Structures are given as structure tokens and as C-alpha cells.
Chains A and B, each alone.
Chain A
């Protein structure tokens, strides 16, 4: 028997990247079958410089030859010269059990077992409704045994990594709309079969699930499958399906054969936030809860998730170092803080030098670095200077940053090892969140949320978001006055109290979610007017408004206020805010409920015992 475990890292993968021309051609060919075939032929004829050769044997229950040109193109885009070795179809065991079989003679670097439940456990698909629950169990058990036997037989003959397909939901559910009413439902049985298959994979060295079910969820069963071709040639996939399967297979190959990227180096301007810090200033960059800042915030959150999967992050940015670090450290909507980066190269120097220093600092070669920068000029420069760095082609549209980086499989590994712990924590938190949702009284529930509210005066970094909240909030908005940034600044300059609140709870940061504006009466000393109280609909019902009111009253009292008049202007939408004054100790001043009064000397301050309040000076 050959050595049982060949670690994936052992397979040689020289760190070279496919050249850009090839990437460009590949992108153009996508979606056109003839163009794909022509490009595949060209790649094969030219003997593929810079590409790593891989022999991929496909053992399937359907005709797999048509995959070939798609595999060649999608492989080349990812740095592989793929040779697809299609084994005779429907010979899973025949090929696996025989020492001298074509499969073993092929000396494949990877074996793909592509089978569908329709073929490996047909009764579960075709005769489902005639089976008793016990018979269903038996069939699932038989399927699991079949897969276990197949995989262990393969493992005994070859050390090549194995990718084994799981199954999508069937084209038709046996019970149709009634499937969820059947026990067990056919959909759940497919999932059980997939779980059994995953268990076999987990328990066998170098065997990984090719998540076909997921691919179908992403692409859609009816788009992926072409029944004409199945009936004519035992080939189930549409052209879209062939391309998607080839692309996903190539991505798995990357995860298997490319040494994992250790560190992702990112730019700052138009990458971690929108805009240019040096031009737009800390208050002008886009980073926040609303579009377009939310797109960048989501990208930061995604990078944070990569970090928890074990990828290191670093910065290479042309910027004023102190200013950029200050934004990273203090921007209220920043997810990534300076501590989250293992190396920070901010200055006006050459980025190739920055990348070299980062690699040096981490004691890795530059081939372990990936580089993400919105500037095509910087990318081209790095490609020229450091050809082994994985330079990710940043798309124009920042919404595409996440899928692009994800597709670059920076740290896609098919198994998580040391990172398992972080993941386990996430599962625990999720389980707890679910547990918490289950039937407790509202006050009790609010207490368990561990809400934190940070209240403070509006400043230059929060002003844009405050104006945005004023402009957009319709529901929890007492007067619906739409002040611009300039007007808010004027109000502050003329003595108004403008406070904003950020909220977070044990499940995450909600960002800047509320504000209040209070102005002194111009004629009567000691009288203040509560001009606006605005709360994002995301946090209605958590008592954040009480925090805002309490702090406003305190601030106003400090400035000599004796009475605070709350103003309310009814609109078609602001019903949610209609009881805010009566709920918080104000008394009705006018019958039409448009004016409320709070006596700062005698009335009881609004309370919010379940919220931990942090006052920012």
C-alpha cells in the first residue's frame, strides 16, 4: 500500500501567477461556448507557460467529457494547466476496486468523484413515496456504506486527494408541494445523505466534499441542469452549469494545491473606506451604516472574518501616517483597528518596498502575500516588481470587493484546523442568541442583550451620519426637520446641544443610531426646546431614546435649563415616536400633543436600567 497520507502542501506549486493577458482572454471567453473551446485549444497548444500541470481524473455517473474545455480555461485562469481524464461513466466501483484500472493507470494528481443521488441511491429519488421511513433509513445507510467502501478502496490504492460531490435537491420532489408534510421529507433525506457523505470525507485523509449542493443553491437548479442533454447523452448540465462546475472545481484545486496565502495586504483609500482621506478628510470618507459607507464597512467586516479564519492582514497605503492611523483607531464605524494588522506601511514610499518589508517582518516569502488595491497603477507596479505576489484584480464596483477577494481564495482551506476554535465560539454565540430569543419577558430580554450606548456631542466624524439620519429617518423622528450638515454646524455654533448615540449589544455594533437637538429659547432664559429626537429604526424599542433624553436634560441643566419643551409634529409615518415624551416623564403642554414639558428641577429623569451608558466628552 502506498503511503496513506500525502499532505496537500507537499504538492509543488510554484508561486507564479497566470499572466494578465490570459486572465483577460479567459474573462472574455466566459459565457460563450465556442470562445471557450477556442481558448482551451489555444492554451493546450501553447503549452501553458507559468501554469502548474495537474492531472484530474473524473469518475462520474454521467458523461464528463464536455467539461474539458471549461476546465482548461477555468484552470488556466487560476494558474493550472489541467488535463481532464474522464473515466468511463458509471463505473465508480469498477474503477475503484481493480488495481490495474484506467483510473489507477492514469496517475491522476486529483480524483473527482462526481455522482448524484439519482444514480447512487436511485430509490430515494425515483421511488421515494413508496418507501416507509424505515426503508428510507435503510437506503440512506446503504448509500453511506457504498460511499465509505468506495472511498476507502480508493484511499487504499492511491494517495491522490479526492474531491467527492455531494448531491443537490432532485429536479422534482416526489411529493411536490407536500414534501415538507411528508415524514421524513425528501429534501431532508437528501441532506441526510449529504451529511453521511461529509462524515465519510471527514474521517478519511485527503478526502474533501465538493459542495455541489451549494453550487446549485448559488446558481439555481434549473439554470444548471439541461434535461435535453441528459436524455441524449447522459450529460446533465447546461453550458452555464458546465462553466460553473469547472470554475468551482478549479477553486477547490487552488485550495488543495496552492500554499495558503499568509497575509493580505490592503490599501486604505477607496479600499477600506470610500474616498481619499487626504482630500475628503476624516468626516468625508465613506464608512458607515448607510450606502455607500456601508459597502466599505461590510468589506471591513469581511476582512475581519478572514482574520478570524487565520489570515493575517497588513496595510500598504500612500497617506499621511498619523492621520490614517487616527482614522483607523477612532473612526466610529471602523471595524478594523490598527491592532488587527500585523504590519502597517503608511507613507509616501514605494509599495513594492512596503510589501518586501511586510514579508520580511513576517519571515515569509513575498509569494505568501496577496495584494488588494483599487489603483490599477499600484497593482501593475507590484506585478512588475514582485511577480510572485498574488495581485488581486480589484473590480471597479466596491460591492464586488468581497466576492472578488473571496474568489481569490486567499485562505480557502478545505479543512479548518487551528481555526476551529474561533468557529466553535461563533456557533456557541449563535446557539446562545437562539436560546435568548426563546420566550422571556421584554425587560429580561433587554437585560440579556447587554446594550451599550455611547452618547456624546456631534463632531466632524459623526456629522455626516447625523445629517444622514435626519434626512432619512421617518419613523422615530419627533419633528422630521431635515437639517443639512451646515445647518447642524450653525445650530451648534449658536449654542444648541446636539448629541448623538452609538449603540452596540452583545451581538454586534449597530453604529450611530440616534441624535437629539436641543436649543435655548431666544427670549426666555431657562427654557430649552427639544427640537429633534431621531432614532434609527434598527434600534427602536430598546430604550436608547431614554438615554438620549436623559443626557440632553443633564446637559441642558448644566447650561441653566429649568424647563425643556418637547416638540412633536405628527406625520403619516412617525407614530413609533408618538409616545416618547409621555413614556419619559414629560407632561402634556398642549391638547394637540404637539408640546410636552419637562421640569428639569423636579421631574424624575428618564431611566434605562438595562443599558450601560458611556458618556463621551
Chain B
């Protein structure tokens, strides 16, 4: 995936969760980070949406179980938007 997109995802996640970027990996998720609770997850969704300018479907919200998965969903949406 596009490194710039990935960087933006990491920045948003780090800001919302209030942890430094170096502490995040693609595997970071609700399982590994205590502050990633269900409410924070939704805040994260809103933050990603306002950062990238698109809305996620309910399924996509469900599937965002790690930083890596978020990157993939964002990348898919971004390329769809480009093609569309």
C-alpha cells in the first residue's frame, strides 16, 4: 500500500489513542492496546473519515480490528475512489 496513506493512518490512530507512533505496529488493535475500547474505536472511525473524506460502511467499521486492517480498508477505499 501507499506509504503516505499508511503514514496518515498511523498518525490518526496514534492521535486518537494518545500513544507515540513508534509504539504502533500493523498488528496493534483492540486486543493488544487497552485504550482501544469500543468507544475509542468509534472515535477512531470518525477521525479516519474526517481525515480521508469518506464514510465507512458498517461492515468496514466491524472489520477494522488492527492498524494493518485499517490501512487495507483505507487503501481499498482510496483506490476505489480513484477508479470511480
Which A residues contact B (CB, under 8 angstroms)? Answer: 31-35, 37-38, 41, 63, 65-66, 228-229, 231-233, 235, 238-239, 242
Q: Is B35's beta carbon under 8 Å from chain A?
A: no
**27 A-B pairs with C-beta separation under 8 A:** A31-B50, A32-B47, A33-B16, A33-B43, A33-B46, A33-B49, A34-B12, A34-B15, A34-B47, A37-B47, A38-B15, A41-B18, A65-B39, A66-B39, A66-B42, A66-B46, A228-B58, A228-B61, A232-B38, A232-B42, A232-B61, A233-B39, A235-B39, A238-B46, A239-B47, A239-B49, A239-B50
Complex A-B, nearest 6 residue pairs according to Cβ-Cβ distance, in ascending order: A33-B47, A34-B47, A34-B15, A239-B46, A33-B50, A34-B12
Q: Is B63's beta carbon under 8 Å from chain A?
A: no
Cα distance, A470 to B62, chains bound together (Å): 64
Contact yes or no, B38 A233, CB < 8 A: yes
- Secondary structure type dominating chain B contacts: helix
CB nearest to A41 among chain B residues: B18
Contact yes or no, A37 B43, CB < 8 A: yes
Contacts of B49 in A (CB 8 A): 33, 239
Contact yes or no, B42 A34, CB < 8 A: no
Chain B nearest CB: distance from A300 CB in Å?
38
Q: Is B51's beta carbon under 8 Å from chain A?
A: yes
Interface 1/0s, chain B 7-23, versus A by CB < 8 A?
00001100110100000
Cα distance, A34 to B58, chains bound together (Å): 20
Contact yes or no, B42 A229, CB < 8 A: yes
Chain B nearest CB: distance from A86 CB in Å?
11
CB nearest to A238 among chain B residues: B46
Contact yes or no, A63 B39, CB < 8 A: yes
CB nearest to A232 among chain B residues: B42
Chain A nearest CB: distance from B60 CB in Å?
10
Given contacts A37-B15, A41-B18, A232-B61, contact A32 B50 (CB under 8 A): yes
Contacts of A35 in B (CB 8 A): 15
State which residues 21-75 of B face A: CB under 8 Å. 38-39, 42-43, 46-47, 49-51, 58, 61
Contact yes or no, A33 B42, CB < 8 A: no
Cα distance, A38 to B50, chains bound together (Å): 14
Cα distance, A37 to B50, chains bound together (Å): 12
Contacts of B39 in A (CB 8 A): 63, 65-66, 233, 235
